[in-house]
């Protein structure tokens, strides 16, 4: 079984030659692999590469049975419980790395493409993508939490809710369990209860930033733009590297509050960090910002990117019509001798 992906810098500069990707489980480095000069990497689970002295100084041997599945079991996929407390990060001198939580990925098959690990020079990160309360939870609470994750991944929301509620009942400080409970409640359209669960997660661990992002998303749906700015500002002050979605929501909020320059700044940062293209609508937002500045060529490019990412979107025809309008405006600006502003 392989974990595959790439290391990328946030500004598009070349990846340092000494880039090492680490697999960390329960706070311990279990495996390392070097990235190629282009940033690509591949890490085999359950191989002899798992055996070395980890960051704590303890010799780690035979990790395949503990954190990976070797041999014939690979065709069955990777058991989700083996990746619950595991994450990937890049280790490069002078750089801070984003974190990839492995539990977020489908474990069927024998390859997982984790996308990009983004690194940025000299960034101070005070928030976390996974709460340390998970590791402090009693065994019964951890077991209930892991069962909840498995049930949620299979779409059994009622079971997942039951397990997450059990986890927080046993250990009320289990921030991750509160967060996952909020996610399940939101999927069940119980928004008030979901908001309460997310808030409980922030109370249990204020450095755990994922629930703040969920609260920001809910505030955005309610068009409470001031609250969106407050929540996303909290996230980005503590971790400017791991949350492109926070930059996106921040940009949307600023745009609706008519703070165009701030909206553009956050939108461009979201675009740089969103290497998995999870937010096609970001390009529409940037297009309108550039169109307002009469930067028609860039606006057209952003809309074309949106259509490439979402060719079957409900508004695709409207976007194509808007592209035609902008092309006429761009042509008119060119013939009048006025350069397209940059």
Per-residue pLDDT of the chain (342 residues; tens, 9 = 90+): 788 999 998 888 888 887 889 888 877 788 888 898 889 999 887 654 433 323 333 333 333 333 233 333 334 445 555 566 788 999 887 788 888 888 777 656 678 888 889 988 876 778 887 788 887 899 999 999 999 999 998 999 999 999 999 999 999 999 999 999 999 999 999 999 999 999 999 999 999 999 999 999 999 999 999 999 999 999 999 988 888 999 999 999 999 999 999 999 999 999 988 877 888 999 999 999 999 999 999 999 999 999 999 999 999 999 999 999 999 999 988 776 555 555
Strands, E, within the chain: which ranges?
2-9, 20-25, 28-34, 40-44, 52-53, 59-60, 86-91, 95-97, 99-101, 111-121
- Pinpoint the residues of the chain covered by CATH 1.25.40.10: 133-208
Give the DSSP letter string of 21-49: EEEEETTEEEEEEEPPTTSEEEEETTSGG
Q: What angle do CA 289, 295, 297 make, to 5 degrees?
A: 115
Spatial contact of 65 and 85, defined as CB atoms under 8 Å apart: no
Tell me the CB-side half-sphere exposure of residue 121, using CA atoms within 13 A: 6
Q: Which residues have C-beta within 8 Å of that of residue 144, sequence separation ≥ 6?
A: 163, 164, 166, 167, 170, 177
- Pinpoint the residues of the chain covered by CATH 2.60.40.1120: 2-121
Tokens at 218, concatenated: 């809910």
Nearest to 92 by CA among 8, 218, 210, 216: 8
Nearest to 140 by CA among 168, 109, 100, 182: 168
For the domain 133-208, what is the CATH code?
1.25.40.10
Name the phi and psi angles at 34, rounded to 5: -85, 140
Nearest to 1 by CA among 31, 34, 39: 31
Per-residue CA distances from 189 to 185, 211, 219, 250, 280 (Å): 6, 17, 15, 24, 24
For the domain 2-121, what is the CATH code?
2.60.40.1120
Other Cβ atoms less than 10 A from the Cβ of 339: the count is 8
Nearest to 287 by CA among 264, 311, 303: 303
Q: At what angle do helices 139-153 and 157-170 cross, to 10 degrees?
A: 160
């Amino acid at each position: 079984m392989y974990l595959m992906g790439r290391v990328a810098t946030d500004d598009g500069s070349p990846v340092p030659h000494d880039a090492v990707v680490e697999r960390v489980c329960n706070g311990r480095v279990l495996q390392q692999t070097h990235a190629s000069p282009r940033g690509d990497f591949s890490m085999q689970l359950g191989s002899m590469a798992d055996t070395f002295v980890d960051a704590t100084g303890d010799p780690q041997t035979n990790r395949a049975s503990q954190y990976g599945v070797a041999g014939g079991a690979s065709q069955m996929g990777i058991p989700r419980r083996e990746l619950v407390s595991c994450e990937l990060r890049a280790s490069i001198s002078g750089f801070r790395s984003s974190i990839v939580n492995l539990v977020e990925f489908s474990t069927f098959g024998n390859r997982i493409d984790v996308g990009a690990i983004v690194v940025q020079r000299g960034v101070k990160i005070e928030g976390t993508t996974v709460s340390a309360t998970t590791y402090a939870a009693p065994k019964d609470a951890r077991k209930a939490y892991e069962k909840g994750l498995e049930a949620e991944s299979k779409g059994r929301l009622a079971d997942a809710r039951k397990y997450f509620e059990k986890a927080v009942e046993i250990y009320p400080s289990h921030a991750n369990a509160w967060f996952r409970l909020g996610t399940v409640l939101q999927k069940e359209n119980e928004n008030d209860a979901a908001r309460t669960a997310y808030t409980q997660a922030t109370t249990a661990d204020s450095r755990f930033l994922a629930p703040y992002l969920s609260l920001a998303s809910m505030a955005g749906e309610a068009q409470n733009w001031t609250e969106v700015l407050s929540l996303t500002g909290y996230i980005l002050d503590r971790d400017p590297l791991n949350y492109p979605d926070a930059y996106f929501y921040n940009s949307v909020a600023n745009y609706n509050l008519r703070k165009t320059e701030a909206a553009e700044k956050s939108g461009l940062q979201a675009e740089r960090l969103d290497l998995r293209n999870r937010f096609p609508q970001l390009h529409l937002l940037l297009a309108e910002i550039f169109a307002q500045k009469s930067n028609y060529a860039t606006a057209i490019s952003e809309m074309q990117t949106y259509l490439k990412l979402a060719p079957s979107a409900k508004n695709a025809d409207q976007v194509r019509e808007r592209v035609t309008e902008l092309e006429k405006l761009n042509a008119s600006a060119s013939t009048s001798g006025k350069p397209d502003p940059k």
